[in-house]
Structure 1
Amino acid sequence: MAVRPVPEPAPEPTPPAPTFTGGGELGFAAASGNSNTESFNGRLDLTYTDGGAWRHSASLFGLHSRSEYLRTHEDGSQVRDTRTTANRYTVTANSAYLMDDRGTLNTSLRHEEDDFGTYSRQQSLSLSYGNRVIENERAHLDLQVGPGYRRAYDTLDERNEASFIGRGLIDLRYALSQNTEIVNKLLVESGEYNTFAQNDLGVSVTMNSHLALKAGWQARHNSDVAPDRKRTDTLTTMNVVYRFK
């Protein structure tokens, strides 16, 4: 009686390999002559996926501008002097646990320094549930909502303010064409002392696999500000973007 060979077990599927992606953008403008001004803004975004259930991301944004002006002495003489008109940077970090194809559990951290805002320093930590409510070839829409805690330094009253907050995030990407994409991200943090909201809208045109041009518009709103400060600040940028995979 012939003995049939025992079939070998099927090889186990290879787990997805970890991936590291990101990109940076940079914008600079300078004017000289009767007036001298300089403005710089930059952003760096990094994302790491371990090949399993975890995805980690971090972002760094900076804005700095200065201008030259005439300063008059008591004797009536004038000299040119330079003053800084904007100086702000923001660091964010997020760790997401992928619960299923669409749901995530997120831990988010945000730290901001602003020399010209009512709040010269803001720090927040939050835990939220996220869901990708739309996903197709052209668009995806992510929503996050959850509680958190925020500390901020009020420059007007010279005091630290701390409170629990509710945090919400809307992240939309839509491809207008093969090389043109619209991105809009809205962040809201609302607590006892202040409601902070920031909306970033961008349109990018890809030139090749690594380079793109991006036009951006940012609006930032604080509900509780000093009497001589505006509640809403806007920033318009035109940057060169470099992406790597």
Structure 2
Amino acid sequence: MNANVLLGAAMMVSASAFQAVAEEAKEEKKKDSPWSTTAGLGIVNTSGNTNTESLTFKFDTAYEIEHWKHEAHLETLKASTDDVTTADRKLFTAQTNYKFRPLDYFWGNFSYEDDNFTGFDYQAIISAGYGRKLINAERHKLDAEIGPGYRKFKIIEPPQTDDEGLIRVVGKYKWLISSYSEFTQDLIGNFGEEQDEWRSITALRTSINKTLALRLAYNVRYLDKVPLGNERYDRTTTVTIDYTF
């Protein structure tokens, strides 16, 4: 009887130890993986061309190896009042970086936006250029990018399609406040002959556990020329729960 008890206890201890080792190995494999993916869902409060409360969804994925980094971002925003749609925004961006020196890289970027907040039916931009890591410390990182591009857009009212060349300028700052919280600030400028646009994306992210995080973000978008009846500034405040897998 005592032998059976001891055998059972030994088996339980062995199983627990094996499970712990397996979980640790799984975590190490996740750390070594070149993939990182995050999905977020949250509440949005907007002011500007639309004043409403709504829901937003975002999806980010990245694949990074020695010289290459590929990133994709999808963001949607839908709002309605009394079953009438008042906002419908979709944004997709993709970027590829090729690092040819430890601090220097070439980049190519594509973005497509369908956003009736601004009076534009859609806007598509393709651009490429040079980037450099100006700060690459453990807690602070700052990247700068510049390059030429091409933009095509369509105005909703009156219906009009146009295109132009542009210069794209980007700054990306990241501050690792602690092991569970980080602050990011992105500035994106697209300067063309017909239209100048810049965006500011400020975010604070705090981890809840290994897979969940709370993210507070404040986005500002400015267009120097907008269709009649629209404002130049759009401001969006979001609070999302992010899931990393």
Instruction: Establish whether TM, by shorter chain, passes 0.5.
Output: yes
Displacement of 1:47 after TM fit?
A: 0.6
Paired residue type of 1:48: Y
Distance 1:129 1:29 in 2: 34
Distance 2:240 2:121 in 1: 26
Distance 1:29 1:121 in 2: 21
Q: Which portions of structure 1, spanning 4 or more consecutive aligned residues, are displaced by more than 6 angstroms?
A: none
For each residue in 1:104-156, what CA deviation from the matched residue of structure 2 results, as whole angstroms up to 9, or x when unmatched?
10010000001232222000000110101001111101110000000000223
Displacement of 1:177 after TM fit?
A: 2.4
Aligned to 1:182: 183
Aligned to 1:60: 74
Displacement of 1:193 after TM fit?
A: 1.2
For structure 1, the 5+ residue unaligned runs are 1-16, 31-36, 69-81
Distance 1:209 1:42 in 2: 20
Displacement of 1:52 after TM fit?
A: 3.3
Paired residue type of 1:41: T
Paired positions, count? 208
Paired residue type of 1:54: W
Higher helix share: 2
> Retained in 2: the 8 A contact 1:26–1:239?
yes
**1:38–1:231 CA distance, 2 compared to 1 (3 A):** closer
Distance 2:206 2:80 in 1: 29
SS in 2 for 1:26: strand
Distance 2:187 2:77 in 1: 19
Distance 1:28 1:217 in 2: 12
TM-score (norm: length of structure 1)? 0.81
Q: Which one has more relative contact order, counting CA pairs under 8 Å at least 6 apart? A: 2
For structure 2, the 5+ residue unaligned runs are 1-31, 46-51
> Retained in 2: the 8 A contact 1:38–1:67?
no
SS in 2 for 1:88: strand
SS in 1 for 2:178: coil
Distance 2:167 2:191 in 1: 5
SS in 2 for 1:233: strand
> Retained in 1: the 8 A contact 2:181–2:204?
yes
Displacement of 1:197 after TM fit?
A: 1.2
Aligned to 1:242: 243
Distance 1:18 1:63 in 2: 31
Pair 1:127-2:98 in alignment: no
Alignment of 1:28-107 (within 5 A): 28=43, 39-49=54-64, 51-68=65-82, 82-107=83-108
**1:65–1:103 CA distance, 2 compared to 1 (3 A):** same
**1:145–1:102 CA distance, 2 compared to 1 (3 A):** same
Displacement of 1:29 after TM fit?
A: 7.1
Distance 2:204 2:189 in 1: 22
